[in-house]
Structure 1
Amino acid sequence: MMSRLRFVGRAFVGFEQALAEQARAFEQSYPDVEVVREFLEPQALYESTIARSELGSGAIDITLTLTDWLPEAMQHGLLAPLDPFLQNDPPANWPEGWPPSLLGLQRDAAGHVYALPYHDGPMMFVYRRDLFDDPREQAAFQERYGLPLCPPETWSEYLRIAQFFTRPEQDLYGAVAAGLNDAHNNVYDFMIQTWSRGGRLLDDAGQPIFDEPIAIEALQYHVDLFNRYNVMPPDAKTFDSVVSGAYYASGRAAMMVNWCGFATMAEVPEQSSVVGKNGLGLVPRGDGEGGRHTSINVYWVLAVAAGSRQKELAYAFLRSTASEEMDRVTALNGCIATRYSTWRDPDILRQFPVYATIEAVHNNIDSPPPIPEWPAITEILNVAVDDALHERKSVAEALKWATSESRKIMRKG
């Protein structure tokens, strides 16, 4: 009799292609098993699996979920602990085969493990190396600004270069970012801008402080890229992370700060017109004393649903997908693999230069606060950033409101 494992994850072509191949490999090893896959947009995925607790209903066996959502999922008992499986039959080279930064967010306070890493971020600076290296562009930039054209170290340099390359008449913009109010990149960009200036999200007592001066400066800069300086494509406020990554890959933007998976996508011939023309670097830092290069450490993980009646079989799929061979499949389909072995694979490095930078990026990363209330607070920040971006409120007003509303959530918690 055929057994069916029901899988639910995020809709993204890279995930869908990689998991199709990984499911076929698993089904070859388990010929009486079919992995039935469903993919949802991030907000719908969160609502169904966690907000409506479908991970505990028995309708789902495996989920591809985001580390931001794990504290809430663990608190409500929606995921099965993997410790017994990892003790008896761990993936090869567990846990030394993965960087420590990809092993911590799926643990609870007692150290129990609830998921295996599948797809890494982090955010990186990505740029059109062919434009930056063009002697004509270098000469023109030097003449206009009296400075050499090189990858920016600071956000002020990023703005200057974005203004230089913004040429709507050539269908070229200096930068692209995801402005859609999907509680994803729009919120993460605010966080990156804040952290890179030396700011913080919570005070020492764990209370939200989004309206501190550094955070206001950070969001104002981000909003100004869209509205004051117009260095983004006119439709960028409607872009999600996938669309913004595809826009860059189309050759119509000179720079972006985005998930490194989209730097990988820009090297896939079927998805990109700028293959072999891309450079990578650290996210720019703030110009002040507290400025530092940082990135955001959130990642996608595979977990076994607490309500699954086939937990051993579901874990077998996780273990199979975490193998070195299947991790390479993740990379070859334009996602970001999580094993050291893939990051250091010479063939992978030749095709996807992003892996030459990823370990350095992981040396300077921040993560959203690992608290159960964070998904609800993210929804508030989503509204606040969108209000500021569309100029329904000033940046200061939007962040003051977000701080007040988020503190109410913390009090309820």
Structure 2
Amino acid sequence: MPTLRFVGRPFEGFERALERQMDSFVNQCDEDVEFVRDHRPLPEIHEELIETGDIADGTYDLFLCLSDWLPASADAGDLHPLDDLIRSNPPSGWPDGWADSMRTLVTYDGATYGVPYHDGPELFHYREDLFENVAEQRAFRGEYGRPLSVPRTWAEFLEVAEFFTRPEEDLWGTVVAALPDGHNNVYDFLIHLWSRGGEVLDDTGQPAFDSDAARDALTYYHDLIHEHEVAPPESVDLESVEVGQFYADGKAAMMWNWAGFGAMAEAADSDVFGHTNYGLIPRAKTENGEHTSLTVLYGLTVPAGSDHPELAYDFIRHATTPESDKITTLEGASGTRFSTWRDPEILRTNSFYSVTEEMNTNAVNTLPQIPEYVELNEILNEMVESVVVDQQQSPSEALSDANRRAEALLE
């Protein structure tokens, strides 16, 4: 009896959805199949499987791969290209069932290495009950001389965050995931960079983030916690899931975070159930400022050392059908197909999907699709950590050092 061995990050939404999808796959198979799942923290997967190349050593047949890592793993030959399998037996609705931004993130150097399974993008979440409260509106106008409204710029965001920061009531204006794990802390910096008109790499592929836009971005991010104190001090120890829970517990008025964490806020046991709405992430009020977002995804891939690549691909096809993608969403993760984003049942229970398609097709940025991105990401991670967590360097010093390291990396 063949055994398909899976590895991916721990997350209840993934685990519940995969259990259902694996059970239904076994029930429809002509032969007996067994699954073994290994859910490991992201830093462990990165250090022990990605950096070493051991993801391809034959231990695993299925890998729920973060799109940050896919170019390096593909370039190293650690992932099985799926193009021949897709041509002979494509996933249901391939390729038009997914947005271009989704398919791009599972592609490297013209080859396809996975099928999208779980997606961002990052959205702006806010407490509609606070913004619509008449007493709050009156108090805000009295203090700031303008109506209380959903912020469109980072300057407006800061005013609103200051207004709602009430530690004595266990309420903060915002909360951020600044834990130096190389994920949301880096993504937050990039969102602030892009929303100010900055860029990571220039048109020639060289580092371009030692810039005025980047200094403004990193300074603003630092100051939310340490200068303005509108984000709780524990933000430096929180990752994205914990931030989503912090917001769902009613402790923050606003946040930008992954769309899927709207499911936490809209769960029946959430303290903000029925009180959350969504919109565009603010931008800098400058000539080059723009509303932007970031998306990364988790794609189902086949490690190069798999003993059962065809069977693993059969499961990938099964787990990414419209029906399975809806299961992924209903179990607490975020589906990646147009059919899920447009599904009336999904929209009734997860209203953030009403803006997901727009963000993924019009306003979304992605990380540089280069094999060196894993190393570049670590440079950015250490830069943000130095300024925001350890406070050992000024933004200017940290950006200059990081840009030099990135230039050496990409020579």
Same fold, judged at TM 0.5 (above): yes
Category of TM-score, reference length = shorter chain? over 0.9
Pairing partner for 2:309 from 291, 308, 311: 311
Number of positions where the alignment pairs a residue of Structure 1 with one of Structure 2 = 408
Aligned to 2:392: 392
Aligned to 1:335: 333
Opposite residue 308 of structure 1, the aligned amino acid is S
Q: Secondary structure at the match of 1:225?
A: helix
Opposite residue 269 of structure 1, the aligned amino acid is A
CA distance in 2, matches of 1:317, 1:63: 12
Q: Mean alpha-carbon deviation: is it higher for 39-48 or for 328-337? A: 39-48
Opposite residue 124 of structure 2, the aligned amino acid is F
Q: After superposition, what is the alpha-carbon deviation per residue over 1:302-346, rounded to whole angstroms, capped at 9, x for unaligned?
A: 001111010111001100000111101111122111111111110
Pairing partner for 1:325 from 317, 323, 326: 323
Aligned to 1:290: 288
Q: After superposition, what is the alpha-carbon deviation per residue over 1:78-102, rounded to whole angstroms, capped at 9, x for unaligned?
A: 1111112111211221111111111
Equivalence map 1:20-39=2 (5 Å): 20-30=19-29, 32-39=32-39
1:249 lines up with 2:252 in the alignment = no
How far did residue 157 of structure 1 move?
Answer: 0.7
How far did residue 178 of structure 1 move?
Answer: 0.3
In 1, are the aligned partners of 2:108 and 2:369 still within 8 Å (CA)?
no
CA distance in 2, matches of 1:116, 1:97: 11
Pairing partner for 1:352 from 350, 353, 356: 350
Q: After superposition, what is the alpha-carbon deviation per residue over 1:343-402, rounded to whole angstroms, capped at 9, x for unaligned?
A: 111010000001101111121111111111111011111111011013111111111111
CA distance in 1, matches of 2:23, 2:284: 46
How far did residue 105 of structure 1 move?
Answer: 2.2
Opposite residue 408 of structure 1, the aligned amino acid is A
CA distance in 2, matches of 1:366, 1:136: 38
Opposite residue 84 of structure 2, the aligned amino acid is P
Aligned to 1:139: 138
Q: Secondary structure at the match of 2:123?
A: strand
CA distance in 2, matches of 1:157, 1:40: 40
CA distance in 2, matches of 1:361, 1:245: 19
Q: Secondary structure at the match of 1:21?
A: helix
Aligned to 1:276: 274
Aligned to 1:84: 84
How far did residue 297 of structure 1 move?
Answer: 2.3
Aligned to 2:233: 234
CA distance in 2, matches of 1:11, 1:135: 42
Aligned to 2:119: 120
CA distance in 1, matches of 2:232, 2:213: 26
In 1, are the aligned partners of 2:226 and 2:233 still within 8 Å (CA)?
no
Aligned to 2:163: 164
Instruction: Give the root-mean-square deviation of aligned CA atoms.
Output: 1.1
Q: After superposition, what is the alpha-carbon deviation per residue over 1:269-323, rounded to whole angstroms, capped at 9, x for unaligned?
A: 24x2211110100111111110101111211110011110101110011000001
- So what's the TM-score if we normalise by structure 2? 0.97
CA distance in 2, matches of 1:91, 1:373: 29
Q: Mean alpha-carbon deviation: is it higher for 21-30 or for 388-397? A: 21-30
In 2, are the aligned partners of 1:125 and 1:256 still within 8 Å (CA)?
yes
CA distance in 2, matches of 1:314, 1:54: 18
CA distance in 1, matches of 2:104, 2:66: 13
Structure 2 residue ranges without an equivalent (≥5):
none
Q: After superposition, what is the alpha-carbon deviation per residue over 1:136-174, rounded to whole angstroms, capped at 9, x for unaligned?
A: 111111111111111110011111100000000100000
1:66 lines up with 2:79 in the alignment = no
CA distance in 1, matches of 2:128, 2:331: 23
Aligned to 1:266: 265
In 2, are the aligned partners of 1:54 and 1:60 still within 8 Å (CA)?
no
Structure 1 residue ranges without an equivalent (≥5):
none
CA distance in 2, matches of 1:333, 1:25: 15
How far did residue 107 of structure 1 move?
Answer: 1.7
Aligned to 2:363: 364
Opposite residue 16 of structure 1, the aligned amino acid is E
